[in-house]
């Protein structure tokens, strides 16, 4: 089964477009850190269309952090797609090793890539035809205006990246909710979208109303679940985000 089929099946089964971010903020890669992440996974799994660990938070804890990542990935039920947020972009030779790391060593279903260095940098990842790729399109940070939203001829830079999604149906785009204005979404092809920026970054779900997209769409919440301020379970919070996203998507 391809990444896209797996994701479509998961969205259909759960009625959820919520991607639960697993960005743990701990100094020590010890047993309690591992147990905390596993608790988040267990409590939110029923509401999760996908999980997204960002590599930075595990790398920051050194090799033990990466060991924890590999251990917690094994706790994720097989029918839930895992997107490894690594934002890789390098020459082909090196990208080949990044692809091997993500897909062979960690066994994830999809990755995020930075296409700034051009189309050829995607090729090593495309050699895994069933796996998914999300290219950074219009990211959720204020600096999206510096390059991604700059004009080039009569288009914007991110539209050149969007063209690269034609390489395979497994290739989609990252579009930050905080920057998902109508003039961005209308130029974004109907490809799988990964939409971060909800929760801590203050993105507004109403931006997605009536988008009428057919390709699978994920809205990511990391801090807004893992570090929520309410006195209830991670599961309750995830269920609430799932509902809010469902309502926005109609």
Q: How far apart are the C-alpha atoms of 10 and 117, rounded to whole Å? A: 33
Q: Is 87 a catalytic residue?
A: yes
Of 43, 187, 204, whose CA–CA distance to 195 is shortest?
204
> Rounded to the nearest 5 degrees, what angle is found at the Cα of 183, between the Cα atoms of 141 and 54?
30
The encoded tokens of residue 186 equal: 């209308």
Q: Which tokens go with 182?
A: 């109508």
Closer by beta carbon to ligand LLZGTKA7, 96 or else 189:
189
Axis-axis angle for helices 63-73, 31-44 (nearest 10): 30
Residues 6+ apart with CB under 8 A from 23: 53, 54, 56, 57, 222, 223, 226
Residue 108 φ then ψ, to 5°: -80, 170
Which residues, other chains included, contact 227 with Cβ-Cβ below 8 Å and sequence gap of 6+?
Answer: 25, 200
- What per-residue string of b and e applies to 132-142 under the rule 16 or more CB within 10 Å gives b? bbbbbbbbbee
| Catalytic position from the list 87, 100, 187, 209 | 87
Binding site for ligand LLZGTKA7 (CB under 6 A): 21, 23, 54, 85, 139-140, 174, 176, 196-197, 199-201, 220-224
The token pair that represents 131 in the structure block:
């796996």
Residues 186 and 34: their CA atoms lie apart, in Å, by 41
Is the separation of the CB atoms in 92 and 120 below 8 Å? yes
Catalytic residue positions, numbered: 87
């Amino acid at each position: 089964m391809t990444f896209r089929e797996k994701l479509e099946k998961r969205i259909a089964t759960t009625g959820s477009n919520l991607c639960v971010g697993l960005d743990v903020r701990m100094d020590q890669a010890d047993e309690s850190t591992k147990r905390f992440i596993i608790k988040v996974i267990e409590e939110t799994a029923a509401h999760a269309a996908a999980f997204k660990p960002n590599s930075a938070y595990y790398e920051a804890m050194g090799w033990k952090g990466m060991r924890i990542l590999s251990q917690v990935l094994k706790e994720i039920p097989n029918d839930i797609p895992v997107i490894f947020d690594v934002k890789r972009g390098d020459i082909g030779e090196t990208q080949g090793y990044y692809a091997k790391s993500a897909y062979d060593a960690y066994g994830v279903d999809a990755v995020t890539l930075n296409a700034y260095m051009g189309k050829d940098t995607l090729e090593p990842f495309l050699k895994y035809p069933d796996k998914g790729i999300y290219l950074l399109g219009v990211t959720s940070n204020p600096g999206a205006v510096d390059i991604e939203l700059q004009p080039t001829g009569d288009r914007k830079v991110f539209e050149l990246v969007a063209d690269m999604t034609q390489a395979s149906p497994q290739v989609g785009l990252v579009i930050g909710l905080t920057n998902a204005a109508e003039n961005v979404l209308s130029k974004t092809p109907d490809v799988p979208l990964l939409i971060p920026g909800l929760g801590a970054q203050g993105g507004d779900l109403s931006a997605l109303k009536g988008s009428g997209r057919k390709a699978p769409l994920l809205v990511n919440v990391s801090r807004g679940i893992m570090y929520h301020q309410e006195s209830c379970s991670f599961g309750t919070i995830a269920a609430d985000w799932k509902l809010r996203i469902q309502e926005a998507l109609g």
